[in-house]
Amino acid sequence: MRRGLVLLVALLVSIASLFGTAVAGPFGPPSVMHATSDDVPRQPREALPANLVGATAHAGSVTVIGEPGLEDTAQDLASKAQLALDEISADLIDGLPRPGAIEVHLVRDSSDLPRVAPQGRGAPPWAIGVAYPDLGIISVAMRRGGTYVDPVNTLRHELAHLALGAAIGDKAPHWLHEGFAYQHSAEFSFERSETLAGMAWLGGIVSLDELDRSFPAEESPAHRAYAQSYDFVGYLSRRGHWEDTDDDGDRWPFRRFLADLGKGKTIDQAAMKAFGKPMKLLFEEWRANLSSRYLLAPIGLMGLAAWVLVALILMLAWRRRRKQNRARIALWDVEERRRDREEQRAQAEVAARLAAITLASSPAGGALVVPPPATRLDGIDPLADDPATDPHGSTAARLLN
Ligand SMILES: [Zn+2]
């Protein structure tokens, strides 16, 4: 019962979030890995396997080297990488260092990621993309097993890791790295919503002190550590300097926080200056916000769902009424045309009968006007008294009464 409720809440919040975030490819979010830095030098291009080098594309500071046959994808990734870098750089202000030249290794299948990794670095078997921030190298695969994963989203995620690594180095905790990368790739995941809803309803939020240690060995965006990091950093990016839900700060407090972190302040010093609170209090604030979002979501969203349902019913009723009206008008038209035809037929019959009568009574067999038979008067005044009618020859009245 409780799990059913959690699923329902996750579903409702997921539907709501579709209107507010970008949606990843049709097969869900990519699994990505932010590789830790070490002193291994950049792999010379000649060391890449020959069968995995064919398509090359450049845009700004980005070079994409892809498998033969992936020329179009390589070109697309190069141009979109440069745009993404510009967007990501807007979050890294105050002259924070930016990544230099970036090389992207593009392969079709994730099983080839270890083969295009820098020497001695490798790639985890579950990854679909890997960033090596210290080397300025990113590897991206287009599918894992039979599942296609949008390489643009994967590349954006890895570029964000690379840019944050260049700007802040290793001073950014893991949760901040993953949350920042999610800010710039925004892959949608129903499972992650379910994880967050479960934490809001059933508990299990990992404390800030434990968060970095609780990341799983294998990346899983639905895992609590990832889901928490994505949501917490998202909350910080939307928070103004003060705890005021109407003021999102236009990301400036968040940018100020990253800049101070990059300039050597501790995470609490940077948080105090940007948000007026130490990180632990901000974390508690986020925890309360998460609960209110997921606990109140059913009420708000069910109300919204009820409105949508009523609107749908009204629309269907209106369409039905319109259909009925059209059918009625069409019926009236048919009826009117039938009456017109009958009237015309009746008029035609009357005209035909009149014509028949006229023809029948005409001696000429065709005259339309038949004069009465003529009577010759032969000099007789028809107005004179007829003596035959008055045998007494008297003009006196024969009768009085
Ligand atoms: Zn990541």
* Ligand 1 centroid to residue 160 C-alpha, Å: 9
Q: What is the DSSP letter of 55?
A: E
Which residue from 187, 66, 43 is spatially nearest to 123, judged by alpha carbons?
43
CATH topology classification for 26-168 = Glutaredoxin (3.40.30)
* Ligand 1 centroid to residue 127 C-alpha, Å: 10
* Ligand 1 centroid to residue 108 C-alpha, Å: 20
* Ligand 1 centroid to residue 392 C-alpha, Å: 146
Which residue from 399, 29, 354, 346 is spatially nearest to 188, judged by alpha carbons?
29
Q: Is the dihedral of CA 163, 167, 173, 175 positive or negative?
A: negative
* Ligand 1 centroid to residue 253 C-alpha, Å: 23
Give this prediction's pTM. Answer: 0.65
- In order, the DSSP letters of 382-400 are TTS--GGG-TT---S-S--
Residues 67 and 52: their CA atoms lie apart, in Å, by 4
Q: What angle do CA 327, 328, 333 make, to 5 degrees?
A: 95
* Ligand 1 centroid to residue 214 C-alpha, Å: 15
Domains of the chain, by residue range, sit at 26-168
Q: Is 109 left (phi over 0), alpha (psi -120 to 50) or beta?
A: beta
User: What amino acid occupies position 51?
Assistant: N
Residues 336 and 237: their CA atoms lie apart, in Å, by 69
* Ligand 1 centroid to residue 31 C-alpha, Å: 8
Query: Mind listing the pLDDT tens digit of every residue in the chain (401 residues)?
Result: 455 555 555 555 554 443 333 222 223 333 444 443 333 345 555 578 888 888 899 999 999 999 999 999 999 999 999 999 999 999 999 999 999 999 999 999 999 999 999 988 989 988 999 999 889 999 999 999 889 999 999 999 999 999 999 999 888 999 999 999 999 986 677 888 888 988 888 888 999 999 999 898 776 767 889 999 999 999 999 998 876 666 666 789 999 999 999 999 999 999 999 999 999 999 999 999 998 888 876 665 666 777 788 788 888 888 888 888 888 888 888 888 888 889 899 899 988 888 888 777 665 554 455 555 655 556 666 555 555 544 554 444 454 55
Residue 153, judged by CB atoms within 10 A of its CB (0-12, 13-18, 19+), counts as buried
Tokens 């925004």 correspond to 186
Which residue from 22, 26, 106 is spatially nearest to 66, judged by alpha carbons?
106
* Ligand 1 centroid to residue 362 C-alpha, Å: 109
* Ligand 1 centroid to residue 226 C-alpha, Å: 9
Residues 138 and 202: their CA atoms lie apart, in Å, by 38
Work out the angle between the directed axes of helices 267-275 and 252-262 (0-180°, nearest 10).
150
Tokens 């004179």 correspond to 384
Residues 353 and 125: their CA atoms lie apart, in Å, by 100
* Ligand 1 centroid to residue 131 C-alpha, Å: 8
